[in-house]
Structure 1
Amino acid sequence: MCAYSSQQVHRRRLQGDTLSKFIHTEVNISRDETKKAVEYVVKKVEAILEKVCARDPRFGSAFLRSGSYREKLQVSDSNEFDFLVPLEYLPGLNFYAYSYCTQDRLLDESYIEVTCNPSPSNTVKAASQPSWERKDVADPFPDMFLLKPDKIMSTFKKEVNNALDLLNQTDSVYVRRRYQGNPAVTFTVKFGREEIDVDLVPFIRNPFPSWPIAWPRPYQRWPSAIKMEEIRKIGVDLVAKHPTFWRFSFSRVERFLLEDIDSDRGRRKDTLRILKKVRLDRWKPQFGKLLVSYHLKTILFWACEKYPNAHDWSDLVVSFERLLDDLIMSLSKGHLSHYFLGRQVNLFKSDAESQMRLTDLYKEVNAFKCDAEHFLST
């Protein structure tokens, strides 16, 4: 609830014209400039992955575009692009899902071990033949090989650097240091006066023999039954979010959900893009990655499930205030459930310091709600 002193004016009701103008002047980005940047980056990525794949075929060259630009949710300059890089020639895999307690955190059920069985003893592999049993990507055990995300990421980064050497681009392309928990190799390229960050994310594409999670939920009315079946066909992927354990990735599924989410002329994407822009301008400078775009996208998915009908999303103001209220509720609890994995996976950090900062962020977001008309119209 918004609280005002006797000296403060009453809250002005948020207007649809204000939101529409904000989209036009603050949210929409130049498609021409973005298209040029995309074409430039894609050529770079194609050249790099072609060299990587030629040296190490375990990393495929048939990349997939991902991220905000591919989902048509980008709200700032085109200086970040994501690409999924498939891992190839994988043998039969085994999966072990547990909850792990490490020194610094509890790993939830979205983290799993991946192993592969050794080749038959009578199989002789040439040194150049792709193999996931080598020590640069796996830890050997008597009856299996443990595919190690940290080793795979190190090998991939080494090959990206080798590719840049072969392309004579080490002066124009800078590969960033990789931090634990980041599933990407990130490099920066210059495009005119701008710098563009490019994430290359190796992933295991839909390796499970059957649908691996308890989704959809009982009596769920969104998305449609047809879409649910298509999502099952797309499958769940794995990415390297931990030195030892892989993590479920729903990037391709989420892109599919967003493709025609407003085919009924709803305002879902507009609502999300406004909230993303507000986050960039108002909350990111102080709170950084405590709240990220993925949190907001997750809130949209939950809201779509709760309000599955077309008329629920026909009004821009109602749609925006709905997402804003849901964000405030999640911040007040310090908990945002993963859309596909449910309540057992909290997308917010659960350590004491982060929870205290989430309380501060809750106050900021609530204050914004109390004066949204003023903020968005100035």
Structure 2
Amino acid sequence: MPHAEARVVHSLKQHLLKHGLRKSRVLHLLVDAHPSYVHSPVARGLEPMTRLTLEGTRPDILCSVARPEGVLVTGIEVKASEKDWAHGLGQAHTYRPSVHHAYLALPTPAGELRAPTLAQARRIGVGILAQDSKQWVEVIAPEDPSPLPRAVSQASALLEGVPAARSLQLNHPLNYLAAAFLADRGPPSQPLLESLAAHWEALRTEGTRRHAATGASTLGLLDLDWKPTVEGRAVADLLAALHFDPDARYAKRQRLLEVHPAFAAVARFVLIRQPAVRLIHRTLMDHGGSLTLPKLAVAAGREDLALATALFLADPSIELKPGLRGPDIYPSNVFKLKQNLWHAGLLDTKAHGSSGKKANVYRPEEDVWSLPRDTRS
């Protein structure tokens, strides 16, 4: 039958967009621009189409699926009849190096699929989609990719998140923004530390200037050589547009959000991209917007134990559990991070008076972390 396969692709596409795949929503879907599809009666319903060439292979359907472990890419080979199962499985198998999951879709009721088809699919890790009446069902799940995307995401989050969680040594975000600004707009022949010494009087020692440059690098504004990244240049452009002047004396003891709300907005943009900050924000959102430090640490640990441990504990080898006391907490780190978030407007509560000092005087059970009320809904 002419255009039979195009109709099968059309049916499967409509099902995926309406019902998803593996109980998960399909975010985007493309159909291969095969001539038989482009010139079929259902061509309009197959759009958007393009040449889906992946490492020399051409899946009929390519889609992204919002799985709990992250957004996964799926390639699907479609056949108009089970008679082509062997060829179809071979094609679907070639997609596996290019996608997370590979499927063969057959317009055959699940109960009528032959045992050799199913056995071969299981052996090579290709999933099977079958058509029961007008609905498509997953008969065989595809083999998961290696490495698992969730595991890679966790590893990447740790590599990105832990340094920022334990490396911000200054308590005001404007110090990091100034480092990015001077790295981009300072005299080209002048090293960054010299530019900071000449133009940013808030940092009076070489050690604090190094903290500013290292922190800006940790935040993604500078590279390892303290040269501006693309993000750093964008931040410098924003600051220039807001008439930031590194030679001016800004009121550092007052809350940045109140005295320079535009600079605070830039700081929020930079800080909220950090995994540790996002973890704090999500945890507070999930618990009514306000928690004491021990409860925040334990609740954050339920979502991401490694990152929460690095963020809150003085000794990251100990157990993160209820009843944390002052000596258990990394008070200097907690103080500086919280001050940055408060100045930027990501928290409504400033650092507790007992934090930032010796661990044995810190009272974490009195240290409340609260989101701004207008962000809690």
Report the TM range for the smaller structure's normalisation.
under 0.3
Which of the two has higher C-alpha Rg?
A: 2
Using structure 1 for the length normalisation, give the TM-score: 0.22
- Higher RCO (C-alpha 8 Å, min separation 6): 1
Using structure 2 for the length normalisation, give the TM-score: 0.22
Structure with the larger helix share: 2
Structure with the larger strand share: 1
